[in-house]
Each structure stands twice: as structure tokens, then as C-alpha cells.
Structure 1
Amino acid sequence: MTQKAGKKGKGKDADQNVGTQGVVAGGDSKADAAHLNTVHNRLVDHGYLSEEEFAVVAETLQRNLATSISLYLKFKKYHWDIRGRFFRDLHLAYDEFIEEIFPSIDEQAERLVALGGSPIAAPADVDRFSVVRVPTDTVRDARAQVSDLVDDLTRVGRGYRDDSQAVDDANDPATADLYNGYAATVDKIRWMLSAMMDDDRMT
């Protein structure tokens, strides 16, 4: 029975309809899922974007998705590591900031999927694309943590503004709007952390 079932449906037409499972997305950012000959993939495309426009948008979405995941993990790492006088303030504040950042992870991934892309998820890919590095060492000093996060947020906020312009030029104002919103959120968190550093007691 198994052999007969395996033979059934063979032929050129069957091969074209079934497709190939497990194909890796192409492009430098591994984002282009629209052209994969995979099961249930016939309706996936780049919408109103040309191939060149999609390549620009996909690269920014992959990088910002990875960066958002890394930023989430870094806030969590410092949330767990913090000690000393500012333990309670920062322990709670970090989780509050995470709640503002976390939704962007799913939003950016789903935006990429909606445009015919394939979001990264493996830790190695997140590390490769992210502009934020999650520390492997324990950092308990409040000022060291906050200063490090301010530097990251400065870089991330600038990146969102640059990418907003890039994707707008690539005919994708919807993604540009997302980036503008994320930039405002990052700027607000950066301002709050910077204000904490004005306390001379923070060590």
C-alpha cells in the first residue's frame, strides 16, 4: 500500500503543484520567501514593491528585528544582574521599558512576512544581524548598565530614522511609519535613562 501511494500523483504536473519543502530563503538577508517553490507558497509575493525595493526594505526589517530581540534580551539581562542602591528602581524600570519595546518584535517580523519575506529567528542569525550586543559577563553596576543602554539606544534610534528614510525612498511608507513610531519610543526610553545618570549617587 505504501509503495502504491508513493507512486500515485507522480509526473510533471504533480511536481509543480506539490513544491519542495525546507528550501532556504535567498538574498543577503535570507528574507526572500516569495519565490520559493514550497507548499502553500503560490500566493506569497512582494505586493506593490519591486524586487529592488523589497531588497532594501527586507534588509532593514531583518536587521531591526534582530536588534529588537537583542535589545529585549539585554534589558532582561541587566534586569536580572542589577545590584545595589538602584536595584529596585532599575529592576522595575527595565521591565517597563521592555513592555514598550517588545511589541515591535512581532510587528516587524509580520511586516516582513506580509511583504513576502522570511524573518530570521535562530540565535546565530539574530547575533549576525543585530547592532546590539547582549553581554555574556555579569554587569551589576548601575551606571555601567545605564550608560551602555544609552549608547545602544542612541545607535538604535538613529538607525530607525535612517531606515525610515531608506524604506520611504523604496516606496514603502507603511514601514517608514512603523520605524518613526519605534524611533520615538526609543528616544523616550533613552531620555529617561539619561536622566537617571544625573544622580551623582549612581555607582
Structure 2
Amino acid sequence: MTKKTAATPRASRAKVGASTPAEQANGTPGVPAQGEAKADAAHLDTVHNRLVDHGYLSEEEFGTVSEALQRNLATTISLYLKFKKYHWDIRGRFFRDLHLAYDEFIDEFFPSIDEQAERLVALGGSPVAAPADLARFSAVAVPTETVRDARSQVADLVGDLTRVSKSYRDDAQTVDEANDPVTADLFTGYAATLDKIRWMLQAMMDDDRMN
């Protein structure tokens, strides 16, 4: 009678050359991102991270650029949320005009959210987007209360747009001096877009019926 062969252990039946979980990891699970904006991914000790770097920027230059990108990214997301909040809450004579206009204005600047995040990634960064982080970095506060009055909404948005567009112009100069004319060009374009939206909202406030 032929002697049965003992069952082959599961480990020995694995494909030749297959790596163990420890070998697959080949790095630590991750370390905190560095820098003021916590956006530096280039030096994370993680798997498949060797090709991430800051391109032509020095560490100091990247720190300046990443801080500006992270802050403006958070601000733009918050601006989007604020426009949507007012879009939902508006009531009264100007409901239809502003309800539609707010979404039209969002369409103007919404693409910049992804552009700023991907620019940060392309430079070796890692954008943060958790609600707490957005609130920490954003220059725009998303309202927690309900504001239905047209003039109050528009005046508030005009104030935000004035401040944010100026910040973009200032940051364009800052990142240009930090050896990043590409990001400077992006910021200049975003400033122009917000200037146009601000002008249109200001024009609406000239209507004496808006109250």
C-alpha cells in the first residue's frame, strides 16, 4: 500500500518568490508630515515614496510655497461651502437671482480647488482636507447660523472676496520670490477670477430694493 504523503504546509505552498508581509512593507507605516502646513510628503518613510520630491525647490522654498497652497486650498473649499450655504438659505425678492448666481460663481472658482491640491502634490506635498484642518488654515469662516437676507449675504461675500483676492496677489509675489513662478501664475489667475465675482456682487448691491 502506498504511503500517503503528508500535507504540505500552507507556507511552503506559496508561490516561489512571494514576499512576506514584513518584506512587502519595507518601510514604516508612516510618519507625520513636516512643515508649518503639515503638507510635506517627500520625506515620509513609507513604501513607494522614493520618487516624491520637491522638484526644483529647496526645502525652504517648498516650505513657503506649500504653506501658501495649503492655506489657499482650505480657503477656497470654505468659500465654496459658504456660497452653497447662502445658496440654500436665501429668501425673499432676490431669491431666484442669487440662488442661481451663487452656483454660477461657484463654477468660476471651483476648478481651482483641485488645481491647488494637485500642484501641492506635484511639488512633493500632501494636502490636508479634514474639516478641522480646513477650519485651521482657512481665511474664510463658513457660517453656522442661517442668514436669509440678501444684502447681508452679498455684503459678507464681498468682504471675503476682497480679502481672499488680495491674499492671492500677495501670495503670488511671495511664491514667485520662492522660485515658483508656476504657482505664482495660478494665484494671479485666481485673484482675477475672484475680482470679477466681487465686482458682480457689488453691482447687485446697488439695487435699492435689496434689503
Report the TM-score when normalising by structure 1.
0.93
Deviation at 1:23, TM superposition (A): 2.8
Bigger Rg over Cα? 2
> What is residue 202 of structure 1 aligned with on the other side?
210
> What is residue 130 of structure 1 aligned with on the other side?
138
- Summarize the alignment of residues 109-188 of structure 1 with structure 2, pairs less than 5 Å apart: 109-188=117-196
Greater helix share, structure number: 1
- Summarize the alignment of residues 56-95 of structure 1 with structure 2, pairs less than 5 Å apart: 56-95=64-103
Any unmatched runs of 5+ in structure 2? 1-9
Deviation at 1:29, TM superposition (A): 0.5
2:209 and 2:198 map into 1 onto residues whose CA distance is 19
* Residue 23 (1) aligns with residue 35 (2): no
Deviation at 1:197, TM superposition (A): 0.4
> What is residue 199 of structure 2 aligned with on the other side?
191
SS of the aligned residue for 1:160 comes to helix
Q: Which amino acid aligns with 1:120?
A: V
- Summarize the alignment of residues 9-48 of structure 1 with structure 2, pairs less than 5 Å apart: 14=23, 18-48=26-56
Q: Assess, with a 3 A threshold, how the Cα gap between structure 1 residues 189 and 8 changes in structure 2: closer, same or farther.
A: closer
Report the TM-score when normalising by structure 2.
0.89
Identity of aligned residues (%): 78
Number of corresponding residues:
199
2:26 and 2:151 map into 1 onto residues whose CA distance is 57
> What is residue 53 of structure 1 aligned with on the other side?
61
Q: Contact 2:30 / 2:44 at 8 angstroms: preserved in 1?
A: no
Q: Contact 2:158 / 2:202 at 8 angstroms: preserved in 1?
A: yes
1:56 and 1:108 map into 2 onto residues whose CA distance is 14
1:72 and 1:23 map into 2 onto residues whose CA distance is 31
Q: Assess, with a 3 A threshold, how the Cα gap between structure 1 residues 9 and 145 changes in structure 2: closer, same or farther.
A: closer
1:66 and 1:81 map into 2 onto residues whose CA distance is 23
Deviation at 1:101, TM superposition (A): 1.1
1:51 and 1:152 map into 2 onto residues whose CA distance is 32
